[in-house]
A and B are shown apart, each in its own frame.
Chain A
Amino acid sequence: MEKSTVFNNKLLPYCLLFPQLVITIVFFYWPASQAVWQSFLREDAFGLVSEFVGLENYQTLFLSPAYYAAMLTTVVFSISVGALSLSIALLFATQADKNLKAAGPYKTFLIWPYAVAPAVAGVLWFFMFQPSLGMLSRPLRGMGIDWNPLLNGTHAMILVVMASVWKQISYNFLFFLAGLQAIPKSVIEAGAIDGAGPMRRFWTIVFPLLSPTTFFLLVVNIVYVFFDTFGIIDAVTGGGPAGATTTMVYKVFADGRLGGDLGGSAAQSVILMVIVIALTAIQFRYVERKVQY
């Protein structure tokens, strides 16, 4: 789509673009290219000497069990958070879509966690499940579970997943509700006339018609789990215990911290960039077309 009437100024458009282009190049393209360049270098701990080592950083990475562990953690974490937050949000959205009288206030009270910072959400959940003072740790211990997310990797993962799901439900709920409300009522009525009950109507009519929203949310949730949960993980577990909650993004941060392994950290950044670009490309190329409208 293009405008048919435009202004003819020669210099003005460049002036208008200037602020954004400068900021984008200085804070985006320059650092991104530095990350790529750095991933081929090995720097000593003081950052004084750096030496070109080719693909060595990548080689080291793919030979290190810790990196595969981080990949596995990322997969487990993503699938758990994505599946739980999407299905819970869909449940709430279908209920709120029932023409209830009080649907408005319920909607408001379900969407506000979107505004809570991930790190704050992490602190809140950690407070509830802190082994010695957490309000919910005591009942767990009462049931005979030796609950301790500070020492037990599985418990730590469960806690991080719960906090991330809690934070993400509101977003998914909002989009599912909008998607549900966009489905024409006549289609559902036609199904009812043919004798389909509420469950049957949901799975054969509503759910397929909702697929564009679902696929959109799938991609957004993957990006959320990758990047926005950083604050939650750092606040709740700091990647531990023993790396049990170190995702790939967290590892980029942890490995480069205090000038540690900058080359390795940069190589991981590059791999992440490739993954995110691939995901976005998939979203644009395939999802839009193959989904039923």
Chain B
Amino acid sequence: MVEHRPLSDFIAYAILTLGVLIVAFPVYLALIASTHDAATVVGGHMPATPGSQTLENYYRAIFVGGSRTSREPVANMLINSFISAIGIAVGKIFISILSAYAVVYFRFPFRKTAFWIIFITLMLPVEVRIYPTYKVVADLKMLDTYAGLILPLIASATGTLLFRQFFMTVPDELLEASRIDGAGPFRFFWDTLLPLSVTTMAALFVIQFIYGWNQYLWPLLITTQDSMQTIVIGIKKMLVATDELAEWQLAMATAVLAMVPPVAVVIFMQRLFVRGLVQTEK
């Protein structure tokens, strides 16, 4: 930097520390609430330090479920969330790397048309066509199935654009060399292009895993059985079902469990995450 003033550094640390505290505070409260018993939390005088009910609360949340209404244990919701998040991430990578390969490495009639058909989907999130999509999924008998949770959400252009962009940066000489060696489209894809794309795939996986894990409106609409619920909608239902008598300590334990996988992904795979975020959006 140009000038180095101790005061300016001090202000920077002060502002950033304040920022970190504000950002962390709601989650800290949720953590604390998940360690107390129901009466302490509902009483409105919850202490700012952890209580003694941690194991019991998490045990009940994960394996038993709430007591007031018959509800699913969170373990099952976590499994559903994992399956749909991984399904969305893998599915999107699979269909988009193939279509990007076709668009970049082949010349065929309607190539531009196909690209535009895919590209336009970028603009319209599932929220604006929610009921017609629901009807399609219902007609295909996919309500309350993993296919119904996954397939409609992988119909988007982000992945295709990302892989197209990446393939464009792969030197033409690689393809020429492979062809001289007698490699066809399958060999070239499998032996050359796929190994080069690993980082791009990983970055896309991280972003799509978070996207899939955090879905709310779509699973809310198409799951009617409790056994198919994902954890994100499970929390909401815990609070709605019993209103004033909501078991907040269990809801907060569930909220913490719902945050752990995606937040861990962001913290431990930060480089891939940042890369994926910047590349898919720009």
Choose one: B8, B44, B122; the contact of A198 (CB below 8 Å): B8
Contact yes or no, B123 A277, CB < 8 A: yes
The chain B residue with its CB closest to the CB of A95 is B12
Choose one: B16, B118, B130, B281; the contact of A92 (CB below 8 Å). Answer: B16
A143 at the interface (CB under 8 A from B): no
A92 and B128: CB pair below 8 A? no
Whether A174 and B277, one on each chain, are in contact in the complex, defined by CB atoms closer than 8 angstroms, is yes
Residues of chain B contacted by A120 (CB below 8 angstroms): 214, 232, 235, 255, 258-259
B24 close to chain A: CB less than 8 A: yes
- Is B236 on the interface with A (CB-CB < 8 A)? yes
Which of B27, B118, B213 meets A117, CB within 8 Å? B213
Residue among B132, B233, B251 making CB contact with A266, cutoff 8 Å: B132
Please indicate the chain B residues that have their CB under 8 angstroms from the CB of A38 in the complex. 131-132
- Chain B residues within 8 Å of A135, by CB: 29, 46
User: B94: CB under 8 A from chain A?
Assistant: yes
Q: How extensive is the interface on chain B, given as a class?
A: 35 or more
Contact assessment for B236 and A123 in the assembled complex, using a CB-CB cutoff below 8 Å: yes
B25: chain A residues at CB < 8 Å are 128
From residue 236 to 282 of chain B, which have CB atoms closer than 8 A to chain A?
Answer: 236, 239, 244, 248, 251-252, 255, 258-259, 262-263, 265-267, 270, 274, 277-278, 281-282
Range of interface residues on A (Cβ < 8 Å) = 35 or more
Residue of A nearest to B41 (CB): A133
Q: Which of B63-71, B98-106, B195-203 contacts A (4 or more CB under 8 A)?
A: B98-106
| Assembled-state Cα–Cα distance A3/B29 (Å) | 54
Q: Report how far A129 CA is from B3 CA in the complex, Å.
A: 43
Contact assessment for A27 and B152 in the assembled complex, using a CB-CB cutoff below 8 Å: yes
Do A169 and B217 contact each other (CB < 8 Å), given the known contacts A95-B11, A123-B239? no
Interface members, chain B 108-141 (any A CB < 8 Å): 108, 111, 114, 117-118, 121-125, 127-133, 135-137, 140
Residues of A within 8 A of B107 (CB): 6, 8
Q: Is the CB of A115 within 8 A of B117?
A: no
Question: What 0/1 pattern do residues 62 to 97 of B give for CB contact below 8 A with A?
Answer: 000000000000000000000000000000001110
Task: Give the distance in Å from the alpha carbon of A95 to the alpha carbon of B274 in the complex.
Answer: 19
Q: Are B19 and A92 in contact (CB under 8 A)?
A: yes
- Map CB proximity to A onto B1-26 as digits: 1 under 8 Å, 0 otherwise: 11100001101110110011011111
Please indicate the chain A residues that have their CB under 8 angstroms from the CB of B259 in the complex.
Answer: 115-117, 120
Seen from chain A, the residues whose Cβ lies within 8 Å of a Cβ on chain B are 1, 3-10, 12-14, 16-17, 19-21, 23-32, 34-35, 38, 88, 91-92, 95-96, 98-100, 102, 106, 108-121, 123-128, 132-135, 137-138, 166, 169-171, 174-175, 178, 185, 188-189, 192, 198, 201, 216, 220, 223, 227, 230-231, 234-235, 249, 252-253, 256, 262, 265-266, 269, 272-273, 276-277, 280
Q: Could you pull out 14 A-B pairs where Cβ atoms are within 8 angstroms?
A: A5-B175, A9-B106, A16-B102, A20-B98, A27-B137, A32-B129, A38-B132, A96-B12, A117-B258, A166-B23, A231-B217, A235-B236, A256-B131, A262-B131
For the complex with contacts A21-B118, A106-B16, 4 further pairs of A-B residues with Cβ separation under 8 Å are A13-B111, A35-B128, A119-B235, A265-B131
B residues whose Cβ falls under 8 Å from a Cβ of A = 1-3, 8-9, 11-13, 15-16, 19-20, 22-27, 29-30, 33, 41-44, 46, 94-96, 98-99, 101-108, 111, 114, 117-118, 121-125, 127-133, 135-137, 140, 151-152, 154-155, 160, 168, 172, 175-176, 179, 184-185, 188, 210, 213-217, 220, 232-233, 235-236, 239, 244, 248, 251-252, 255, 258-259, 262-263, 265-267, 270, 274, 277-278, 281-282
